[in-house]
A and B are shown apart, each in its own frame.
Chain A
Amino acid sequence: MTAELPPGLAIQKVDERIMTLNVGPQHPGSGHMRIIVQIDGDYIVACDPDPGYVHRGEEKMAEYRNYITNIPHLERPVIHDSCNVLYPYVLGVEELLGIEVPERAKYVRVICSELNRCIYTMYWLAIYGIFLGHSTMFMWPAGDRELLIDLMEKISGARVTHAHFVPGGVRNDLPPNFEEVCLRQVNYFEKRIKEYAAVFYDNPILISRTQDTGVLSREDAIRLGTTGSVLRASGVDYDLRQKEPYDVYEELDVHSNVMKEGDSYARSKVPWLDMMESCNIIRQALQKMPKSGSVRVKLKPNPKGKGLDSVYKRVESGRGSLGCHIVSDGKVEPYRLKMSVGSFRNLIALPYLLKGEKLGNMPSVYWSLNYWPVEADR
Chain B
Amino acid sequence: MTNTATGIIRALNSGIKHIATKRFTLRYPEEKLKFVGDGYQFDPSTGVGIAGLKGRHMLFHDHCTGCQLCSIACEGVAEAIAMVKVPEEQKQNKKSIMPQIDYGKCVFCGLCVDACPFYALYMTNDYELSSFSKEGLIYTPAQLAVKPYVEQDSEIVITKYGATHG
Contact = CB atoms under 8 A, between A and B. Distances in A.
Interface of A: 64-66, 68-73, 136, 143-144, 146-147, 150, 153-158, 161, 163, 171-176, 184-185, 188, 195, 198-200, 202-205, 207, 294-299
Contact of A72 (B52, B53, B109): B109
Among A64, A156, A176, A185, chain B packs the most CB atoms within 10 A around the CB of A156
18 contacts: A68-B73, A69-B73, A69-B111, A73-B77, A143-B25, A144-B24, A154-B35, A157-B54, A171-B48, A172-B40, A173-B48, A173-B50, A174-B51, A198-B13, A203-B8, A203-B11, A204-B8, A294-B46
B163 interface: yes
A176 B48 CA distance: 15
A72 B46 CA distance: 22
Contact of A69 (B14, B76, B108, B156): B76
A188 B163 contact: yes
A157 B40 contact: yes
A136 B11 CA distance: 11
B107 A161 contact: yes
B109 A71 contact: yes
Contacts of A205: 8, 11
Interface string B31-74: 00101110110100011111111100000000000000000010
A315 to B, nearest CB: 21
Contacts of B36: 154, 175-176
Among B14, B40, B108, chain A packs the most CB atoms within 10 A around the CB of B14
Among A150, A157, A175, chain B packs the most CB atoms within 10 A around the CB of A157
Contact of B11 (A71, A150, A198): A198
B76 to A, nearest CB: 3
B159 to A, nearest CB: 10
Given A185-B156, A198-B13, A171 B107 contact: no
Contacts of A294: 46, 48
Interface in B139-165: 156, 158, 163
Contacts of A144: 24
A153 B55 CA distance: 11
Interface in B1-44: 3-4, 7-8, 10-11, 13-15, 24-26, 33, 35-37, 39-40, 42
A298 B45 CA distance: 9
Contacts of A146: 24, 26, 156
Interface in B91-110: 107-110
A159 to B, nearest CB: 9
B81 interface: no
Nearest to A75: B109
Nearest to B55: A157
Contacts of A156: 51, 54
B75 to A, nearest CB: 7
Given A147-B163, A185-B158, A157 B39 contact: yes
A202 B107 contact: no
B123 interface: yes
Given A157-B40, A175-B36, A202 B111 contact: no
Contacts of B8: 203-205
B158 A163 contact: no
B11 A163 contact: no
A175 B37 contact: yes
B47 A296 contact: yes
A163 B13 contact: no
A202 B10 contact: yes
Nearest 10 A/B pairs, CB to CB: A69-B76, A172-B49, A298-B47, A204-B7, A198-B14, A157-B54, A175-B51, A65-B76, A175-B36, A72-B109
Given A69-B111, A175-B36, A199 B15 contact: yes
